[in-house]
Structure 1
Amino acid sequence: MARPIHGTPRLASGPLAVSQRHYRFVQSFPSGSRGWAVSKIASTMSDGSTRPIEIGMVSGWSYSESVFDPLRRELPNVSTVAYDWSCFAAQWLDDAPQGARPEPDAWLGWSLGGALLLEALRRGRIAPERLILLNATPRFLDAPGWRGVPEPEWRALRRAVVRDPEPAVSAFRRRFELPNPVDGSSRRAELADVSGLDWLARLDLRSWLQEVATPVECWLAPDDPLVPADWPSRLALSLQVRCHRLPGRGHASWWHRPAELAARLSDR
């Protein structure tokens, strides 16, 4: 039994790929909505003073927190703290959370990191002012009327990771043109733990997104081989959920073009 989980531009085909369909994105927030103005974020304290709002970031499966380094460099006026997915889950999702630090004011999660944030919000483990999801979906696997990764392909990846995680992760990243940063992490085996894949298979938050009360921003990209960009059109989403187009295409375009994402977030 797996241990409890801790906390590219070309369209791929075959294993672990989903077909794509055009989806019309919201290009701006509706009048009166609160944007995520990263260059101006501040919170009013009880004494009337202000402080920068802190943004927590959660990585995708197999990645350390350093995957956010390019984006964090483009947000020099914002206080940020980054977690790999396993550390986040250990601190906010385990049955006996491991002494979570004070929660950031807002959270941003990529891929699995976004799904874990949604689950933590559903459980009441986090209570941010805003949630920002990059290339994330409320249900990773396909289902009747729902396009996602076929379960047999997910199982094939899981078996490959159990056999030998490093080559399995390398092949996974090459296939989907995902970033392969050199971060020197000594925790590569833990970051590629199959429990992360089990989270992806287990979570189904579609119905919950119909009633979520926290503002949620979904940033999606066309030709994402793992997360269909049109999934919001298949749900009756809460009015608190807004969808936006990421610059570029694929499952990690934001990583390749962090300045564009930072600028677009700053414009909101």
Structure 2
Amino acid sequence: MMLDDLSARPASVGLVAGWSFPATVFDPLVRQLPGDEVVAFDWSTFSSDWLGRGQEERAVPGLGPAVWVGWSLGGSLLLEAVRRGRIRPARLVLIQATPRFLAEDGWPGVSLGDWQGLRRAAGRQPVAAAAAFRRRFDLPNEPAPSAQLAATEGLDWLARLDLRSQLVSIEVPVDIWLAPDDPLVPVDWPKHLELPAHVHVHRFEQGGHAEWLDHAASLARSLVRPLADDPGARSAR
């Protein structure tokens, strides 16, 4: 279903993809929104363009998309951009993302050993490592990974970012979408934080780290309608 017939016009939307994926992974979602309202980035381009040195001038109200949407690593980078004041969105949407990727005492996540193994493999053969990563976690084979998008720098972002306090104190309205049985982002991580009332957690019915791809139409509707009106997914706090 296309959204051209909806009376509500969506705010401009920026999309940031996860590790090893190009911006075109969002094509199923982009096709549900007016093309002139959407801009998509891979994680590498976003990190260099919005988190690089000298990018402070981007943090101007009204500059850049009003709604930012990030999947996995893309969501973490968006939270970091908000923390640094590089973006000032009217709304932030985090799709199967977490403020702290690595597990530690009292916090669910990926083990340091698993992360180190992936980083070693990506350091030797990034494209092959990304392909193996996708097979292991049942992620889409297409769009194909590239050496740039499978670079260890993306994994380093995941390891060093700890944005739990940022999310607890964030002033921007946030929608978080999680899925059961996600092997990379535990569905229960919000239980470990005292999230403010304007941070809303929503859960898909099915599992997997790329579950959002099966809900592109309902996610698109959520950008132009209140989530309570969305029949495509079940919400929960």
TM over 0.5: yes
Q: Which residue of 1 aligns with 2:235?
A: none
Aligned pairs (5 A) from 1:52-91: 53-76=11-34, 79-91=37-49
Is 2:140 aligned against 1:179? yes
Aligned pairs (5 A) from 1:95-110: 95-97=53-55, 102-110=63-71
Q: Which residue of 2 aligns with 1:115?
A: 76
Aligned pairs (5 A) from 1:23-172: 39=6, 42=9, 53-76=11-34, 79-97=37-55, 102-172=63-133
> Structure 1: how far apart are the matches of 2:53 and 2:35?
35
Q: Which amino acid aligns with 2:183?
A: P
CA contact (8 A) 1:91 1:98 kept: no
Match for 2:155 among 157, 180, 197?
197
Q: After superposition, give the CA deviation of every residue in 1:64-113 in whole Å (9 maximum; x if it has no partner).
A: 10000011112247711000111111111112339869411110000000
- Residue 264 of structure 1 deviates from its aligned partner by 4.8
CA contact (8 A) 1:247 1:260 kept: no
> Structure 1: how far apart are the matches of 2:101 and 2:84?
19
Q: After superposition, give the CA deviation of every residue in 1:39-71 in whole Å (9 maximum; x if it has no partner).
A: 5555xxxxxxxxx52100000011110000011
> Structure 2: how far apart are the matches of 1:261 and 1:68?
11
Farther off after superposition, 234-243 or 131-140: 234-243
- Residue 235 of structure 1 deviates from its aligned partner by 0.4
User: Could you say if the C-alpha distance between residues 228 and 78 of structure 1 is closer, same or farther in structure 2, counting changes exceeding 3 Å?
Assistant: farther
Whose Rg is larger? Answer: 1
**Bigger RCO of structures 1 and 2 (CA < 8 A, at least 6 apart):** 1
SS of the residue aligned with 1:232?
helix
User: Could you say if the C-alpha distance between residues 234 and 182 of structure 1 is closer, same or farther in structure 2, counting changes exceeding 3 Å?
Assistant: closer
Q: Report the count of equivalent residues.
A: 219
CA contact (8 A) 1:135 1:219 kept: yes
> Structure 1: how far apart are the matches of 2:8 and 2:79?
22
Q: After superposition, give the CA deviation of every residue in 1:120-177 in whole Å (9 maximum; x if it has no partner).
A: 0011000000000000000000011001100011000000011111111111001111
> Structure 2: how far apart are the matches of 1:141 and 1:135?
14
Is 2:175 aligned against 1:228? no
Q: After superposition, give the CA deviation of every residue in 1:174-208 in whole Å (9 maximum; x if it has no partner).
A: 1111112146x8xx111111000000000001112
Question: Which sections of structure 1, spanning at least 5 residues, go unmatched?
Answer: 1-38, 43-51
User: Could you say if the C-alpha distance between residues 237 and 222 of structure 1 is closer, same or farther in structure 2, counting changes exceeding 3 Å?
Assistant: same
CA contact (8 A) 2:8 2:224 kept: no
The structure in which a higher percent of residues are helix is 2
TM-score, normalised relative to structure 2: 0.85
Question: Which sections of structure 2, spanning at least 5 residues, go unmatched?
Answer: 1-5, 227-237
TM-score, normalised relative to structure 1: 0.76
SS of the residue aligned with 1:248?
coil
Q: After superposition, give the CA deviation of every residue in 1:223-247 in whole Å (9 maximum; x if it has no partner).
A: 1000011111110112221101135
Q: Which amino acid aligns with 2:87?
A: I
Match for 1:250 among 191, 208, 223?
208
SS of the residue aligned with 1:201?
helix
